[in-house]
Amino acid sequence: MLNQYKLLIFLMLIIFCPILIFMRCSNNKKINSEIEKIPLEIKFDRFDLKFISVNKKGFQKFKNKYDFLFPSKFPDSIWMKRKNDSIQIMLQNEVNIVFPNMNELEKESENIYKHLIYNFPSLKVPKFLTLINNVDYQSKIIFTDSIILISLDTFLGSTNKLYNGIPNYIKSDMDKSRFGSILVDKIASSIIKAPRSRFFLDRIIYKGKILLLKDFVIPLSSDETKIGYSKEQINWAKQNEEYIWKYFIENELLFETDDDLIDRFIIPAPFSKFYLEIDNESPGKIGQWIGWQILRSFRKKNPSLKISDILNLPSEELFKKANYKP
């Protein structure tokens, strides 16, 4: 009798699993088709090229058009000197080599905003403007509701000779393959409310929400691209996920408010700081990874919920209903 029951279950799985997979694939195709049909074209305003080519005669008119980029406290002579500076010219030449045109970045931006508009219909698309910003890697992309500033000289590739001297964990983000992910990071600030609480749990779930948003708006990107890890770092995080979580629980970190935890486990760093022998093997910002897995666990248990609804849920509710057990 027991064997007959097992056989029946097995036959039901054989019959219904392909049907469920087919239905899910069909639904995904329908969604992708609807996203693709959203009318949107993004073109970057190449301020960087215009700035380096404008002459003294036409500078005032040019400055008036882009007055938000020219603080009044600096005289025109400063800007003209910068325009002709050898470093500025060298950076622009390197940008022109890496980015002969903007087609790839424009298409990527369009795709991101189509996915965002599908999930958040009221979202407005700002203007995009490119510039050279003296390799200010802390300001690779600046986002406001009306404009997005892109420092092209911070996406020249992690092996670019111009980045010599910059720490590897920072250089790994300075590649055009990371552009889309970093763009979503910036846009997320207008979609996801930052936590009011200083609890470590709230902070990692906030980061987890941003990474879950990437699952929806850059679904074809790898996990490495979304979080900015190498394949080796992703593998380390997966293999040690249970031990990381156990460390957080046993050390009662989830409801700790010590700001030192941000440096140890959340912000980009060469490695995470458990103060154990494994530190040098670990990737930085491992708290973000854990927050992501908590959100993925919640989504798996609540597949019908919209991403907009998930992102609005309080951290504690998400955590409890995720029933996260690595």
Contact 233, 203 (CB under 8 A): no
Secondary element (H or E) of residue 222: none
pLDDT tens per residue, range 168-184: 999 999 999 999 999 99
pLDDT tens per residue, range 64-116: 999 999 998 889 889 989 988 999 999 999 999 999 999 999 999 999 999 99
User: What is the spatial distance between Cα 78 and Cα 311, in angstroms, rounded to a whole number?
Assistant: 45
Residue 16: pLDDT over 80: no
Confidence of residue 240 (pLDDT cuts 50, 70, 90): very high
The single residue listed with the structure tokens 């003296």 is 134
DSSP 143: E
* Global model pTM greater than 0.85: yes
Q: State how far the alpha carbon of 4 is from the alpha carbons of 1, 8, 276, 308, in Å.
A: 5, 6, 53, 45
Token output for 214 = 């990437």
Angle at 134 between CA 183 and CA 96, to 5 degrees: 75
